[in-house]
Amino acid sequence: MSLIVGLPALLALLLIGLWAAAALDTAIGRLIVGRPVGMAATDPLRAVVADYLRQRTDTEAPDHLNWLLAPGYYFLLAVVGLALVPFAPDQSLIALDTSVVLWGAAEAVVVVAVFLHGWSPNAPFPLIGAYRYVAIGLPVMLLSMFVLIAASIPAQSLDLRAVVESQRGLWNVIRQPLGLPLFLAVVMSLTLRGPFDYADSADLAGGTSAEDGGPRWIAWQTARAAMLVAACAIAATAFLGGYLGPVLPGWLWLSLKTLAVMVAVVLLTHLVPRMPVARMLTLIWIVLLPIAFLDLLIAGLGAL
């Protein structure tokens, strides 16, 4: 895909996705607690203005450069992930034969970006959130590796374009029913959401974001929403057939499937409670990773 055509389209999709993520969060949160949805579609704009006017704080001897750049790192990783997603046959902004590998690398660097965000303020709550996220985020990357390799086996390729084409007869969500639920856990970890929010959780007064205010807060929350859009688009590509579908154009099918995954992630965010760190680590290592390996084994046996 031409950079001149593809980049504006990607940025437009990202902006729409940012708005959709914020609106979904507001609407679903209100529905769950029994409040009227009201103006959920316009609430994100009002929230941005309110956040911009929040008091801007500073701490003693912070790492100003990384505090400034960490949201940029996070946002850039989301853009890279979205650029890997094919919108039509052989139509992706970054066309690589190893795009699954590049996405895996981007996931790993997310851990670094979140850690730097917590390290930079030189304050206790952000630092604790950063270390907690590293403890949880690294084993979750293994989950992602297993389920994405399993999704790539029917295509006999690590190219997301080939992964989509391999689903013309049967989507991976049916062929490998364990894959998508496990990858939803990965999405929540990458976006600091729900039961996997150990970085910016309320028990740490906001964790890595505890000392953010004004533009810093907006930048970090925008990066989190951008990563939600990118990770959900990857999930729709790897497990729901991406752009495949009748009648409608491919980009619209991809958008609808991405939106469906976003709804599932936001629902899980509001419905599933966070457990203690030690218990979550036990769940990941003792339960989820063996299940992910079983998913990979099933995919391999199916290919044979």
pLDDT of residue 95: 84
pTM for the predicted model, two decimal places: 0.90
CB 81 within 8 A of CB 96: no
- Mean of pLDDT over the chain: 87
Per-residue pLDDT tens digits for 208-241? 988 887 788 888 989 999 999 999 999 999 999 9
**Nearest-10 Cα torsion for 14, 16, 17, 22:** 130
Contact between 84 and 94 under an 8 Å Cβ cutoff? The reply is yes
Answer for the pair 99, 234: CB distance below 8 angstroms, yes or no: no
User: 6 versus 122: which is more confidently predicted?
Assistant: 122
Average pLDDT over residues 279-286: 93
Q: Which of 22-36, 85-99, 181-195, 206-220 shows the lowest mean pLDDT across its residues? A: 22-36
Going from N- to C-terminal start, the domains of the chain cover 3-33+44-303
**Can you say whether the dihedral through the CA atoms of 194, 199, 205, 206 is positive or negative?**
negative
Percent of the chain with pLDDT over 90: 52
